[in-house]
A and B are shown apart, each in its own frame.
Chain A
Amino acid sequence: MSLSAISGRLSIRSKLMLLLLATSIISMSLTIAAFIFSDRYSTRQTLAYIVASQANMIGSSSTAALSFGDHAAAEEILGSLIHQSHILSARIYDTDERVFAEYFRPGISNQRPMEFHSHDYSFAGNQIDLYHPILLDDELIGTVHLRANTQELGAHFLRYGQTVFIALAISLFIAFMVSSRLQRTVSRPLTAITGTMRRVARDQDYSVRVELDDENSLSTLADDLNEMLNQIQLRNKQLQDHQKNLQKHVDERTAELSRLTEKFRFQAEHEPLTGLPNRSSLLSRLQQLLEQKNLHEPIHALLFLDLDQFKVINDTYGHEVGDQILIQAARRIEKCMGPQGYASRLGGDEFILLLPDIKSAVCAEETARRIVRELSRPFQFNAISYRITSSIGISLYPDDADDAETLIGHADAAMYKTKASGKNGISFYSPNLHEVMKSDFQMERALQKALQEQQFEIRYQVLLNSDNGELDALRVQLHWLHPLLGEIPAQEFLPIAESKGLIGPLNEWLLQQLCERLSRWQQAGRSGMRMIVHWPTLLLQQHDLSERIDQLLQQYHISADQIELEISETGIAAAGASVFYTLKALHKLGLAISLDGLGVAVLRLINTRELLISHVNLNSEWLQQPGERSAQLLNAIRLFADSLQLDFVVYSDPQHSNPAQFIKHPYVQVLILSDVLSAAEFEQRYIG
């Protein structure tokens, strides 16, 4: 196990202790080792010095003995070494290296042979050998050799080591005490800090704080930590408040949104004025109702309600009054319908009411009559009473139809029947063609469908030349083959098509069909055929009509004189100037244009046995454009008057030239018109 692994498991406290102790042990050991080495060296040096001084003393003392060859004296001098316990043996050599005198410490055998050396001193084992020259008057007269025991040194070291060991032990104990005291100042705050951090991390409790007794640098750290916790706690609280606010905000917005959604849904499903469901809501409700599969066959009634003369009230009293009447009417209708009923407004003054699951038609009739009765009561608005009546048509499921659209259409048709029969009442639908045709709603949809599905058929009336019996032209007739109602003649559907704006596409389709047919017949060898088509005056207002016809003619290689457009006198009389530009263009193109029904009104008046009129007033316009045409017209009128023995009166404007100078005929009387006068002016001028 590595050191770091061990230290990793120790607490901060133990680590610090260990660190401090290890530091003190290492530093002390180093110091002691240095001291020991230094001491050992210096002790040796000291010993060598001591022995050298002794050798010097011996040498100095023995100079005389040596120089006078007095062995006894020399040995006596050496004998004085007995007081020096560390001196094991001593010798004095003469200049010939012979032993002059010697000394051995009693009780110590001579371990090593003593030999002459010139060394100053040498250490061997526990002994030191020292050689010192004996000089007399700068002349070498011999050498002293001392052998000393260094065990004194060893004992010294032992004592030294004991002292050091005791000192080491004491200082370690002191170091332990001091470090345990010191580490407390470090480890205790650290433990407190880490403990706090752990608690914060575990409990997510930011209100915990580090508490230290004393002031030091770690308490600054603890203060910083506390400050940080303060900040976090503050932020946390702010965050929570913010979240609460946000949640509140979101809830508010969600509620508002759902309110708005509800409002929009309501607006989408209801019409704004009366607050009743609109047409699409009714349709989906009806569809839903019809799709339900029940054990018993339910009866549903659909009521189509229209307020009579509502347009008059609206025009007379203004929209404000009209709207108020609609709102009040809606409330009354709802009241009459009861909880099961479903009232909706189509727009304008039309309502569709649904009575689901009724027992019989009688119930529907009762409800409808109640509504008519209720709506006939006067409406109060701004202290003024308004009277209005209503017409209701009723269709029944499943007797009259089993789909929503048809049920609505039938109820509409029944409503028209009520209107036709004097209004302010109710009618049940009965399958009658005329009623269907009078239903604009039905007709419009049917016509659109007919155009898409080409339910129209073109038929031809052949015109034969009365002289030679040859084919002169084909008069075109348009027939509508309705899949359910059968054949519907043009005079019945064309006015409706005209009023609903469907006549344009219809005639365009017709013209194209005719050109294609002519082209086909030409290819079959029957060229130069002429076709006569009735052309509504309304369509002559299309300024690009001639171009489009020209385009068709060129496309099918048909010459212009093969088409004849038949226009009606009544239409032309009421038409604007643009019609004449179109007619001019068509004429220029080469198309034949015929006037149909000239003098129909005149003919009806004079076609009786007795004449119902006394005279004919001629518009002065007839005479305003003098010229050949005008003269011809006057001749024709004169002839006409003569033949029928009718008087003609011409009102002449005094500002224009007197027509009497052009017309000289017993049956034509010219009267001159004055300015327009008030009664007073007249009385003043002609009576007073």
Chain B
Amino acid sequence: MRGGRKHTLMHYPDRAKVTIYLHHCRFLLTGLVLLCGPFFMHSALADDEATREMRLKASFIYNMAKFVEWPAATAKEHYSSMSLCFLNADQWRWLIDESLQNKKIHGEPLILRYPDHIDDTDGCSVLFIAASNPVLYQYSMAHLPPEHVLTIGESKDFLAAGGMVNFYTEQNRLRFEINPLAAQHAGLLISSKLLSLARIREMPGASE
């Protein structure tokens, strides 16, 4: 780290030169982008957008697990073998694996699971339900596990359906909203730090 910092410091002037150089070549670059744009832009940007979002979501899900406390009775079970379950996310399996493999929570290795159905989610600590398959999503939403599972979704009605955390995009930024009462019912304690970042939507009794 120290060496790298030093390196950066040493090349700082060079970077300025590059900036000046780039400033001179501004028109040339602009021309190149305009010419090549129609051929690559869609696929590259679309792919990037979805992947980037998913990567971010994976990271968010992982981080959320750190700000949630499970009940003491199940804590040991959870911390020793915390399972992050991704439902309807087969297409992002590679990305999730890439992002979260070898990560640890409370010193224990994560278990990444990709169940096919909501009924197969026993033992999951965190359950993310991707909205890629709307039918399955709706079904899963209707059958959310009653307790001890942090449920995360990505639709406007997820919290109303009894979900705890829901991703949404605002000003091209990925944000999330939380229903603390749902978590409370499920016996989970969500850190205020996490809550301070989220939009709080309290929907009592929505899970029933």
**How big is the B interface, by class?**
20 to 34
Nearest CB in chain B: distance from A462 CB, A: 174
- CB-CB under 8 A from A137, the residues of chain B are 66, 104-106
- Known contacts being A70-B197, A137-B106, A138-B107, is A64 close to B5, with CB within 8 Å? no
B2, CB-defined interface residue at 8 Å: yes
- CB-CB under 8 A from B4, the residues of chain A are 97
Task: Digitize B187-208: 1 where CB-to-A-CB distance is under 8 Å, 0 elsewhere.
Answer: 0000101101100000000000
**How big is the A interface, by class?**
10 to 19
B66, A73: Cβ atoms under 8 Å? no
A63, B193: Cβ atoms under 8 Å? yes
- Known contacts being A97-B1, A115-B9, A137-B105, is A67 close to B196, with CB within 8 Å? no
Q: How many A-B residue pairs have CB under 8 A?
A: 38
A118, B66: Cβ atoms under 8 Å? no
B107, A73: Cβ atoms under 8 Å? no
Interface residues of B in 28-66 (CB under 8 A from A): 56, 60, 63, 66
Nearest CB in chain A: distance from B60 CB, A: 6
Instruction: Provide the main secondary structure of the chain B interface.
Output: helix
- CB-CB under 8 A from B139, the residues of chain A are none
A136, B66: Cβ atoms under 8 Å? yes
Task: Digitize A228-240: 1 where CB-to-B-CB distance is under 8 Å, 0 elsewhere.
Answer: 0000000000000
CA distance A67 to B191 in the complex (A): 13
CA distance A67 to B60 in the complex (A): 8
- CB-CB under 8 A from B104, the residues of chain A are 137, 139
- CB-CB under 8 A from B8, the residues of chain A are 97
Contact of A68 among B5, B106, B107, B197 (CB under 8 A): B197
Nearest CB in chain B: distance from A135 CB, A: 11
CA distance A485 to B21 in the complex (A): 180
CA distance A354 to B67 in the complex (A): 168
A65, CB-defined interface residue at 8 Å: yes
Nearest CB in chain A: distance from B107 CB, A: 7
B197, A64: Cβ atoms under 8 Å? yes
- CB-CB under 8 A from B191, the residues of chain A are 64
Nearest CB in chain A: distance from B13 CB, A: 14
- Known contacts being A64-B191, A64-B194, A137-B105, is A118 close to B1, with CB within 8 Å? yes
CA distance A627 to B2 in the complex (A): 184
9 A-B contact pairs sorted by A residue (CB < 8 Å): A63-B193, A64-B196, A65-B193, A68-B63, A73-B197, A97-B1, A115-B9, A118-B2, A137-B105
Give chain A's interface residues, CB within 8 Å of chain B. Answer: 61, 63-65, 67-70, 73, 97, 115-116, 118, 136-139
Give chain B's interface residues, CB within 8 Å of chain A. Answer: 1-2, 4-5, 8-9, 56, 60, 63, 66-67, 104-107, 191, 193-194, 196-197
Further pairs besides A68-B60, A70-B197: 18, Cβ < 8 Å = A61-B193, A64-B191, A65-B193, A65-B196, A65-B197, A67-B63, A68-B197, A69-B56, A97-B5, A116-B5, A118-B1, A118-B2, A136-B63, A137-B66, A137-B105, A137-B106, A138-B107, A139-B104
